[in-house]
Chains A and B, each alone.
Chain A
C-alpha cells in the first residue's frame, strides 16, 4: 500500500507539474475549440446551442489524446517499470495508479472548464447540466482508453501519431452516449456512458499492464 501511495504521489507530481508537459495543454486546447467554433459558424445562438455540446465532446475527446505520448513511454525507456517489477510491484498496479493520476490531470479540469466555455456556445440550463454530468461520466473512460493505447504504442517509434488514430474509433461509444444525451435530452444515455466508462476503467490496468510486459520482449 505504501508503494501505491509513493507511485501515486510521483505520478501526480509528474502529470500535474511540469515534468510531463503539464496539465494545461489539454484544457487550453478544449477552450480554444470553444472559442474558435462561434467564429467559424457565426453567432446564431440557436445553431450554437444545438451543435455546441457535441463540439465540446469532440474537443474533450481530442484533448485526451494530447498527453498520451508522455504517459507511459518515458517510464519504460528509463526502466521504471523494470525496477518496480524487480521490487515485486506488478505492472497492473502501476497502471491502475497511473489511470487515476491521468484522469485527475485532465478530467476535472475539462469538466470545470466546460462551464465557462459553454457560455460561448449558448449552452444553458438542462443542456449544460447534461454536458457537465456527461463529461464527468465520460472522461474516466477516455482516460482508460488513453492509458491502454499509450501502453500499447509505447515501444513503437511513431507511437504518438498512432495513439491519436487508435483512440478515435475506441472512443466512439462514449461519444455516442455522452453527446447523444445532449441531443435527446435523455439522462439514460448518460448512464450508458458511465457504464462504458466503468468497464473501460476496469479493463485498462490489466490491458495496459500486459502491454508493458509485452514491450519487454520486443
Chain B
C-alpha cells in the first residue's frame, strides 16, 4: 500500500477574528503538490487575513495550519527600497535568498529595461511585476498570491496565469485570493461567504 503524498498545505478548522469581528470560521483545506485554489469573497471577508494565516504571519483565532515547505507571499506591498534603482533594490533580496533571480526571470516580467529606474518612479503594474519577482523567484514550493492581477495589463496578467500554471505543473501549490477571474485549468475554488459566521 502506498502512502498518500504529503500535503503541501493543510489547514484545519480555521477561524479568524480581526478586532471585534469574526471574519470566517470552520475553514479547512488540504492542498496537494501541483494543486491551485482560488479564494473568492467580497471585500472585507478575510481573503488577505486567510493568506496571512496560511503564511504563518497572523495567528488564527482557532485552528491549525501545516506547511510542507517554505511559503512565498505576494501581497499589495512592495518590499523594495523606493529610492534605489530596481536592480539594486532586488539585489538585496537576491543576497538574502542566496541566489540571483537571473536575466531570464527579469525579461519574463518585463523588468530588464527598468534595472536603473528608481523604484518610486515605477508604475502600478511595474511595481506589481517587480513584487512577483521578489516574492516568487526564490523557489518556494508554496505560493500565496493576494490579488496578483491588480494593476496588471492583460498581457502581464496572462503572464501571471501562465507562471502559476507552470509552477503547479512543476509540483507547486498555489493559493490565489482574487475577486477577478483567474484562468487556470483544474483550479479549485473556495468562497469565504460559505464560512461566514
Give the interface of A toward B (CB within 8 A): 2-3, 5-7, 9-10, 14, 18-19, 77-80, 82-89, 216-217
Contact = CB atoms under 8 A, between A and B. Distances in A.
A87 B81 contact: no
Residue with the greatest number of chain A CB neighbours at <10 A, chosen from B71, B92, B140: B92
Interface string B62-79: 000000001111010111
A3 B96 contact: yes
Nearest to A17: B83
Nearest 4 A/B pairs, CB to CB: A6-B95, A79-B77, A79-B79, A80-B79
Given A5-B95, A80-B79, A87-B96, 19 more contacts: A6-B92, A9-B95, A10-B92, A19-B81, A19-B83, A19-B84, A82-B55, A82-B77, A82-B79, A83-B73, A83-B79, A83-B135, A84-B96, A85-B56, A86-B55, A86-B71, A86-B73, A217-B58, A217-B59
Interface of B: 52, 55-59, 70-73, 75, 77-81, 83-84, 92-93, 95-98, 134-135, 138, 140
A61 to B, nearest CB: 29
A87 B138 contact: yes
Contacts of A78: 77-80
A2 B98 contact: yes
A89 B96 contact: yes
Given A78-B79, A83-B134, A87-B97, A216 B92 contact: no
28 contacts: A2-B95, A3-B95, A3-B96, A6-B92, A6-B95, A9-B95, A10-B81, A14-B81, A19-B83, A77-B77, A78-B80, A79-B75, A79-B77, A82-B57, A82-B73, A82-B77, A83-B73, A83-B79, A83-B93, A83-B134, A84-B96, A85-B56, A85-B57, A87-B97, A87-B138, A89-B96, A216-B58, A217-B59
Contacts of B59: 217
Contact of A87 (B58, B70, B78, B80): B70
A78 B80 CA distance: 8
Contacts of B93: 83
Contacts of A217: 58-59
Contacts of A2: 95, 98
A85 B79 CA distance: 12
A174 B12 CA distance: 50
Nearest to A84: B96
Contacts of B79: 78-80, 82-83
Contacts of A80: 79
Nearest to A79: B77
A70 B193 CA distance: 39
Contacts of A216: 52, 57-58
A3 B80 CA distance: 16
Nearest to A75: B79
B96 A7 contact: yes
Nearest to B59: A217
A138 B96 CA distance: 32
A162 to B, nearest CB: 21
Nearest to B73: A86
B96 A79 contact: no
Contacts of A5: 95
B58 A88 contact: no
Contacts of A89: 96
